[in-house]
Structure 1
Amino acid sequence: MSVPPSPGSPLRNPGFRLLWGGQALSQFGFQFQTLAMPVIAVTLLHATEADMGYLNAANTAAFLLVGLLAGGWVDRMRKRHVMIVADAVRAVAICAIPLLWSTGSLQVWHLYVVAGIVGVATVFFDVGYQSYLPILVPSEQVGRANGMLEGVAQVARLGGPSVAGGLLAVWPRRG
């Protein structure tokens, strides 16, 4: 039996419910990708230590390269639109990996490109997200809304890698 939201609950706000659900899916995908890409690189593509270093750099370089600029750009844009586009870009980039694998053309450098694209999209999403929540809910609900969103992120941190590990265990290996 579900408990009805209290009058002061952010769940009464349909926009917040959409953000909460979208953030749950987004966080789950991010956590899935965080485990899956290095495992794919090592087990399926036989990546070297240097390859793994480059992959890690590609994952984090966006924060250094576009982090400061993204804040100024996102301030001039519609935050919700930025977040939707960023999530769509991340999803398309990540979906390229199984598509490339199924055609037999996946290489380590593809993972670098996907990691870089996901990193840039994450920077834009995070900047938009941080400034969108106070616009979306009344100020007295911001703390509670942040707590609910962080709860979703914690569940995703547990569930995403678990599901990724299970799927990678059944992923067919070539060569």
Structure 2
Amino acid sequence: MTDCELKKVVEETHVFAELTPGQKVRLVSALKENGHTVGFLGDGVNDIPALNEANVGISVDTAVDAAKDAADVVLLQKDLNVLEQGVLEGRKTFTNMLKYIKITASSNFGNIFSIICASAFLPFLPMTSIQILLLNLLYDTLCIVLPWDNVDEEEILSPRDWSGKTLKQFMLS
């Protein structure tokens, strides 16, 4: 099968079984070339090339040492539910990180915008640098609780991309 044919097949097929190490690498490469982010779970020496080729190589604690060394993530339990829980926790963390970025960028943009506008009409600076630093310290102190903030279920159902456009829309609305 040619690489071009393989790229089509990987989009239509859900399970591949009894692959050679070379076929595993070709499969991972085809998925990556089709624009997918690929995670590969392997525990044997024959899985090492595919673990290295994947965006995220995953192994288990009971795997051979070489596979654990090649993996980006080593699961301590031989259970795929751990992987799902890790992905969901990562999505929650990402969502809360976006909240922090939006809050901080909005407050800083508001402060700078206010200072620039007021400076055009006032003969003095409306806020000193110490006052701006104090405001940022207060904002950051209040944002300490964000990592434990609840995340809506629909926010974690699918992966999200970071885009500066959403930050701009949030700050200007």
Shorter-chain TM-score tier: 0.3 to 0.5
Q: TM-score, normalised by structure 2?
A: 0.34
Higher fraction of helix: 1
Higher fraction of strand: 2
Question: Highest relative contact order (Cα 8 Å, sep 6+), 1 or 2?
Answer: 1
Q: TM-score, normalised by structure 1?
A: 0.34
Structure 1 or 2, whichever has the larger Rg, is: 2
